[in-house]
Structure formats: C-alpha cells, structure tokens
Amino acid sequence: MNQMTFKEEDGYIVCYINGKEVSRAKKASAGASTQDVIDIINDQIKANPELSGTEPNLEGLEVSGDKYAVPQGGGSSLMSDIVDANGNPRFVEADGEVVTETSKFTPSYCKWSLSGTHLMCVLAGKVKANVYITSQSYMANFTLPSYIGSKIFPVYRKALESRVINIYDLNGAIPESVNFEFRYENNVISFVPQADIHITTDGYFRIQFDLLIDSE
C-alpha cells in the first residue's frame, strides 16, 4: 500500500511517497496550515491517481490551527477527520429545511456545507404554476452548529446579502426575477423573497449562497 508522509524542513513542507521525496512547498505561514497540506495532497493525487484513498501520515508535521483527528483503530478519511483547534469538524454537510408548502414549491435540493472556511447553502426546485409565494415568507432555513454560527454577522438588520434570482421555464425563458434576502439569526440562515412570486407556468430556480468564515 502506498504511504504518504510529510515533514517540515527549512521552511518547506516536504511530501514523501513510499520514502521518496515528491514535492517541496514553501509554507504559507509560520506554521503549516491545513490548506497547505490539502493543496499538496490534492496535487499529488491529481498527478498520481493510484494514490486516491491513501491515508496521509502527518506525524512529522505540526499543523497550526486545524489538525487531523484520527479515530481509534484508524480508518480516518482525508476530509471528514480535519478539525479545528477546538475539535470541531471543518468539512461537514447537512440538509436544510424547506418551509414553503409542497403545494406551492417542489424542492429538488436543500443542503448546506462547510468546506474549510467556505460555507455554502443551496436551495433548488420548482415553483408551481398559478400559486402565490408571498413576499417576506421564509422559503428555506439552514440550521448551523453554533461554532459556525458564532462567526457570522449580519450586514444590516438580520440580512447578510440580497440578490436577484431568475426563475426559468423549461424553455429557458425568465418569466420572473425576484430579489431574495439571505438572513441570519440564532445560528440559522434563511432564504426570504422580497416580492410575491407568481407565474403562470412552472418555474425553476437554484439559489446558492456563499460565505467565508474565520478559520480560528
């Protein structure tokens, strides 16, 4: 089985595969960061597909901030076992909650995920023809762990951002465009239309809300 190990040498992160040096990258900061390591691993797997699934050995590398939490007995995976300094997972995803009644909206996707410092919430689905989804009604809620929520701060009132979202018919026409507000309160991000949604044909949309959060 292939072995991938790391060492710090003279300000560089050195990656060895089966005891042979394969890359040498200058550290981005005083201590190696999780992102430094992930970038090297991804580059090596891309160049050597046979390494996919290889469990990296980080014993020779002191990683600042985030670290790998290897469960007893091994079996850890590359992303799911990265935790921050407080032991909280840095790569996690979960379902959101669709609030709008199914008689008005058929969801096809409603999830949130955290990938390192990148938080993303996504809602997609079909607005049914000839119904009203009223302005200021909450269409979806994404409940986050408090260690993520504590790093999110609204820009004004409860709002993080507002953005116009196009609603498409099956031919690609846009029968409706609606401004959505992305709100935050008590560890919950919500998608809220700022005008009534009412179209005479089935309409489809996908909303992706992204936010960078502090890694500490």
SS (H, E, C) 39-99: HHHHHHHHHCHHHCCCCEECCCCCEECCEECCCCCCCCCCCCCEECCCCCECEEEEECEEC
Name which of 43-52, 73-82, 83-92, 115-124 the model is least confident about.
73-82
Residue 129, pLDDT above cutoff 90: yes
pLDDT given for residue 5 in this prediction: 77
When pLDDT is averaged across residues 186-211 and rounded to a whole number, the result is: 95
Mean model confidence pLDDT for the chain: 82
Residue 192, pLDDT above cutoff 50: yes
Domain definitions of the chain by residue range? 4-68, 92-212
What percentage of the chain has pLDDT greater than the value 90?
50
When pLDDT is averaged across residues 64-93 and rounded to a whole number, the result is: 63
Residue 58, pLDDT above cutoff 90: no
When pLDDT is averaged across residues 13-25 and rounded to a whole number, the result is: 80
Which CATH number does the domain 92-212 belong to among 3.30.70, 1.20.120, 1.20.58, 2.60.40? 2.60.40
pLDDT given for residue 211 in this prediction: 92
CA angle 112, 113, 119 (to 5 degrees): 100
pLDDT given for residue 11 in this prediction: 73
Residue 125, pLDDT above cutoff 60: yes
pLDDT given for residue 137 in this prediction: 94
